[in-house]
Amino acid sequence: MKRRDLMAAAALLAAHPALAQTAPVVDHIMPKDPSATGLTGPLHTVTIITPDLPGLAKLYRDGMGLALTGPLNIDAAAKRALSAAWGMPADLGWAMHMLRRPNVPAATQIRVIVTDRPTPAIRQSWSRQEPGPYGMGFPNDDVAAWDKHVLGLGFTRATPEIERFPLKRADGAGYEVQEATFNGPEFLRAIAISRRDGMAQVGDVDPVTKRGGPAYATQVLTAMEPMVNFLVNVMDYEVRTDRMWRAYEVPFRFATLYAKGAKNGHIALAQYEPKDTIAGTGAVPAPPNRGMAIWSFETRDVAQVETRAKAHGTTVVGRHDRIDAADLGPRRAVMLKAPNGFLVEVFEKA
């Protein structure tokens, strides 16, 4: 678009603000309607189940800069309610810790369930081509500095060098994305990602450290459409991007879905062709299995979410009139089984 055309479009929008909602979007990941509010909000909490708290702390606290608290004080009644909600065996002991980025309120938090013994592993490799919960993304303004820090802690990178991808905005202008993908505990990856050339980051960053996140979580699927339909029809999310990603040697379909109006806490989904998909462990990606096992979302109406779930054939694992614990606070909750068996917790503040 020429400069005079951009100036004319800006003048038109200034004179007619209502047209702003239908104006062409230059940035693919920005909200379709910034004023929109969906039934459920951005990804609120990611739950990782592990017997290895020191390993997780080394990556997410020491490496990614999150604040670790815990173990949280949870009374016996709340612990029984949570175990029942998540399908944890009665004889499995566990403690809860939280990882948060205090200066970035919009960042997704991580709930760590530390078990007293190992449970079956959801993943058996760091491969992008293995189905299952894959990792989380951490936006920042300086990938090279973050990369040096995390590698200095003894972690390895998924690729020999920091990856650099030339991409285009909707108006055709080019920009670069830089990524350093680190191999973490439970075969989960932490992705330090930066969009360059004046583009907004994929999530809010700390104004002092210029680092943020988690800003999104990723799953690799054997079937994309069922999960997209679940997120759109049950969770009231919107698809921002859906494309074939060919920057790697093995191409795959890649989609991003956001809560309506949101710029943080999105879901990234990948699907490879059957010939390019490798075998996983066969373990269901849900508690008590080890790894990323739950996504939690806040809603303004948990009963409506349950109604939508039933209408679209989603399995309702359980409902809870009140759970009172320090992780998410007092809430009503419904537990849903996503199409790939992954556990989704939707809660409304009580």
Tell whether the model's pLDDT for residue 321 goes beyond 50. yes
Are 134 and 189 in contact by the 8 Å Cβ rule? The answer is yes
In a domain, 331, yes or no: yes
Q: What total number of domains does the chain contain?
A: 1
Q: Is residue 298 part of a domain?
A: yes
Give the tens place of pLDDT for each residue, 108-144. 999 999 999 999 999 999 999 999 999 999 999 999 9
For residues 195-212, average pLDDT: 95
Backbone angles phi, psi at 179, to 5 degrees: -140, 135
Supply the DSSP symbol for 290.
B
Residue 68, exposed/middle/buried by CB under 10 A (0-12, 13-18, 19+)? middle
Tokens of residue 109, six digits: 């938090």
**Mean pLDDT computed over every residue of the chain:** 92
pTM over 0.85: yes
User: Does 132 map to a domain?
Assistant: yes
Q: Which two tokens stand for residue 78?
A: 């709340």
Q: What is the pLDDT of residue 25?
A: 55
User: Is residue 274 domain-resident?
Assistant: yes
**11 located within any domain:** no
The parent domain of residue 130 ranges over 39-350
* pLDDT of the residue at 16: 41
More confident residue, 30 or 225: 225
Dihedral angle over CA of 276, 49, 260, 227, nearest 10: 40
31 assigned to some structural domain:
no
Domain with residue 318: its CATH number is 3.10.180.10
Nearest-10 Cα torsion for 245, 294, 125, 221: -40
Percent of the chain with pLDDT over 90: 86
